[in-house]
Amino acid sequence: MATHKLLLLPGDGIGPEVMREVEKIVGWFRKRGVGFETETDLVGGSAYDAHKVSITDAAMARADAADAVLFGAVGGPKWDGVPYEVRPEAGLLRLRKELGLFANLRPAICYPALADASSLKREVVEGLDIVIVRELTGGVYFGEPKELVTLENGQQRAVDTQVYTTGEIERITRVAFDLAKKRRNKVSSSEKSNVMKTGVLWRQVVSRIHKAEFSDVALEHVLADNCAMQLVKNPKQFDVIVTDNLFGDILSDIAAMLTGSLGMLPSASLGAEDPQTGKRKALYEPVHGSAPDIAGRGLANPIAMIGSFGMALRYSFGLLDEADRLDKAIANVLAAGIRTKDIAGPGMNAVGTQDVGDAIVKELEALS
Ligand code: IPM
Ligand code: MN
C-alpha cells in the first residue's frame, strides 16, 4: 500500500482548531485503509514564540520531504511588534517561494444550501462554480527592491516592486487553460494593462499561449478593477480566472464571500511537475486567515480546511473517489443544517467547530 506523507502546519489563531477536524477526517480514511502518515510542526507566530523565526529550517526540510503540506493559518495581534522578517506571514511566504508553489487554485463553489448565507441575492450566487488561478511566487509579494528607508529630509519612503517574467506568466497561463479544458472551457485573464507594464506583458503572454496551444478554449481579458465589479455583479459569467499574486489575493476574498463565508474556501498551491516522478510539491490551505477574534472558542468553520484536504486527495494523491465522497459529505452536512455561526441561517441553531467535523465523519461513514 502506498503511504502518503502529510506535514500538518496548524499555525496560529483558529488554525489548530480547524486542523484538529482535518485530523479526524485523515483518521477516518486511514481506518479505511488509505495510508496516511502525518507529522506536525510549527509555523507563524507559534514558531516565533518557540524559535524566534516564523518557520525553522527543520520544518522547511520536512515540508520539502512531504507529499503534501496542510497549512492552517498564521498571524494575530500578539505578533504585531515582531521584526518584519520574522512576522508570522513570512513563514507562509517562505514555504510558497522555496517549494516553488507558483500555482494557487482557489475554487469558489456556492452550495445550494448556502445560497442564502451569501451577502448577495440567491439568484446571483446559487450554483456558482468558478476557480481563481492565482500566481503565487512572483509579483509584488517578492519583487526587489522592497524596502522602507528614511530619507535625509526625515521623510520615509517605501517601495514594493511588481515584476513578472515571460516564463512565470507562461506557466501559470498553462495551468489555467489546462484546468478550463476540464471545466466549462473559458479563461478570463485579469490584469491592469492600462496602467502597468507587468499587465501589458501579462496580456501579451496569455494571448500568445492561447493562440499557440489552447485556441479551442475561450479567452477574455478583463481589467482587474472591472473583474472585481463583475464578480459581485454577475459571478456566474466566469469559469477560470487567471491573475497575478496581488490581484489574486484580493479577487479570491471577494469570491469567498460569494459562497456565503470566508470559512468555506479551500485552496491548493502547486509546484511544477517533476519530469522524473510526475509528482508536484503541494501545500493546501484555507483562504481564510487566523481569525484571532474567535480563536480558541470552538466557533470557527472547519469546512475550508477540510475542503483543502479534499483538494490534497484530488491533486496530490489522485484519490478521486475519496475526494468526491468528502465533497458529498460536506454538502450533505450543510444541507442538513449543521453549520457554524458564520453560515447559520436565521432561526438556525449554530453548532461548534468540532460538531461540524464529527458530522462530516459520520456522513462519510453513511456514504460508504
Ligand atoms: C492568503 C493570505 C496571505 C496572502 C497572507 C497571510 C500572507 O491573505 O493566502 O490569501 O496575502 O497571500
Ligand atoms: Mn488573502
Give the tens place of pLDDT for each residue, 66-106: 999 999 999 999 999 999 999 999 999 999 999 999 999 99
The finding on whether 258 has its CB within 6 A of some atom of ligand 1 is no
Condensed to tens digits (0 to 9), the pLDDT of residues 164-211 reads 999 999 999 999 999 999 999 999 999 999 999 999 999 999 999 999
* Matching CATH number, 1-109+261-368, of 3.40.718.10, 3.40.462.10, 1.10.150.20, 3.40.50.2000: 3.40.718.10
Q: Is 300 annotated to bind ligand?
A: yes
Q: Which residue's C-alpha cell is 507587468?
A: 198
- Ligand 1 centroid from CA 7, angstroms: 20
pLDDT of residue 164: 98
Condensed to tens digits (0 to 9), the pLDDT of residues 265-300 reads 999 999 999 999 989 999 999 999 999 999 999 999
Confidence of residue 58 (pLDDT cuts 50, 70, 90): very high
DSSP helix/strand/coil, 229: helix
- Whole-Å CA distances, 122 to 113, 114, 118, 126, 247: 10, 9, 7, 6, 26
Angle at 168 between CA 198 and CA 304, to 5 degrees: 100
- pLDDT at residue 41 tops 90: yes
Asked if 251 contacts 224 with a C-beta cutoff of 8 angstroms, the reply is yes
- Whole-Å CA distances, 243 to 114, 191, 203, 209, 215: 27, 6, 10, 15, 19
Q: Is 96 annotated to bind ligand?
A: yes
- pLDDT at residue 347 tops 90: no
Residues with a known catalytic role? 141, 192, 225, 249, 253
Taking residues 341-362, report their average pLDDT.
Answer: 94
Cα-trace Rg, the chain = 20
Which residue's CA lies nearest to atom 11 of ligand 1?
249
- pLDDT at residue 346 tops 90: no
Q: Which residue's C-alpha cell is 479534499?
A: 310
The finding on whether 249 has its CB within 6 A of some atom of ligand 1 is yes
Neighbours of 219 (CB within 10 A): 20
- pLDDT at residue 64 tops 80: yes
Bond into 145 cis (ω within 30)? yes
Which residue's CA lies nearest to atom 4 of ligand 1?
249
Taking residues 324-335, report their average pLDDT.
Answer: 96
The finding on whether 170 has its CB within 6 A of some atom of ligand 1 is no
pLDDT of residue 281: 98
Which residue's CA lies nearest to atom 5 of ligand 1?
89
Asked if 4 contacts 282 with a C-beta cutoff of 8 angstroms, the reply is no
Q: In the chain, which residues fall in CATH 3.40.718.10?
A: 1-109+261-368, 129-258
CATH fold for the domain made of 129-258:
Isopropylmalate Dehydrogenase (3.40.718)
Q: List residues bridging with 284 in a β-sheet.
A: 70, 268
Condensed to tens digits (0 to 9), the pLDDT of residues 139-151 reads 999 999 999 999 9
- pLDDT at residue 163 tops 70: yes
Summary mean pLDDT of the chain: 96
- pLDDT at residue 236 tops 80: yes
Question: How far is residue 293's CA from residue 203's CA, in Å, rounded to a whole number?
Answer: 40
